[in-house]
Structure 1
Amino acid sequence: MPDPGQPPLFAPTTAQIEQLALAALSRLPDPFRDHLRHVVLFVQDFADEAVLADLDIDDPFGLTGLYSGRPVGEPAQTGDAPPTIHLFRRPLLDEWVETGVALDALITHVVVHEVGHHFGLSDLDMHVLEDMVAP
């Protein structure tokens, strides 16, 4: 059995990152969870080049998460794709190593930030929500 005080031998997989993100989403208060049941969660190693270009980001390690879709309260239009939250594994892992923040706390931070965009929350509101759902 590995020593809990030692770092893992292997980097967490996309499936493990997804589990941590789903756990963060499950800790959100009911009104948020109710609205998020149609939001699709994706975990991939990096954002694709087109997304990075659209956001004017040169370094693929510069984007840890992204919300896409209409915020709550805006009427849906025919042909709208479902709202999505993308988490980008490699940038998350780099930030985890660089900051020393626990991975579940880092993923919770990014998930809450992306959820905040869905709900149109201010940065202060996102911090309050993050404190409520911290692992």
Structure 2
Amino acid sequence: MTRSEPIDWSHAKAPDLDAFEALAHAAYRALPPEFLHFTGDILIAIADFPEDEVVDEMELESEFDLLGLFHGTGLPHRGAVPHTGAMPNRILLYRRPILDFWAEHDETLGAIVTHVLIHEIGHHFGFSDADMEAIERLARDLDRDGEER
């Protein structure tokens, strides 16, 4: 397609929850293996918005203020003996706030989802912002090189 050809927007839609979940899982699998090592068994869930209790507890001004949230106990914080009955670690990604952020920034949706995943996992494990930026650079470099992960 050349620049002079109009884009047919008549069928364009934002990804629904299922498509967003597929994008999130693809982004997760594409993270650097040395970073994935820290996640252990983790579930990724998608919701349109955070629950009202989360908005209240975090004192958010709007349900659009939170892109993702980690629930669980990080591997470094677990004891030597597994805790029975504990729910698995999970990351919640909030589709509508992420789509809103995407609309306001010059980034791909995949890059934003990757950023949120890295930050939700990284903050929980005590990684610095510099550590997470390095992981994001590595993920971008691997994407650019077209390597399989």
Query: With structure 2 as the length reference, what TM-score do the two structures score?
Result: 0.78
State the aligned residue count: 132
- Structure index of larger Rg: 2
Query: 11, 14, 21: which is aligned to 1:11?
Result: 14
Say if 2:24 is the partner of 1:21.
Answer: yes
Query: 47, 71, 75: which is aligned to 2:74?
Result: 71
Distance, in Å, in 2 between the alignment partners of 1:19 and 1:54 is 29
Unaligned runs of 5+ in 2: 144-149
Say if 2:88 is the partner of 1:82.
Answer: yes
Say if 2:101 is the partner of 1:95.
Answer: yes
Query: 108, 126, 147: which is aligned to 1:120?
Result: 126
Query: 28, 46, 50: which is aligned to 2:49?
Result: 46
Query: With structure 1 as the length reference, what TM-score do the two structures score?
Result: 0.86
Q: Deviations over 1:106-132 (max 9, x none)?
A: 111111111212432111101111111
Superposition CA RMSD, Å:
2.1
Runs of 4+ in 1 over 6 A off after TM superposition: 5-8
How big is the shift at 1:78? Answer: 4.2
How big is the shift at 1:26? Answer: 1.1
Say whether the 8 Å CA contact 1:72–1:120 is kept in structure 2. no
How big is the shift at 1:38? Answer: 1.2
Distance, in Å, in 1 between the alignment partners of 2:59 and 2:8 is 38
Q: Secondary structure at the match of 2:77?
A: coil
Change (3 A) 1:6 1:87: farther
Q: Secondary structure at the match of 1:73?
A: helix
Q: Deviations over 1:59-97 (max 9, x none)?
A: 001111111111221125444321110000000110111
Distance, in Å, in 1 between the alignment partners of 2:42 and 2:68 is 14
Say whether the 8 Å CA contact 2:65–2:97 is kept in structure 1. yes
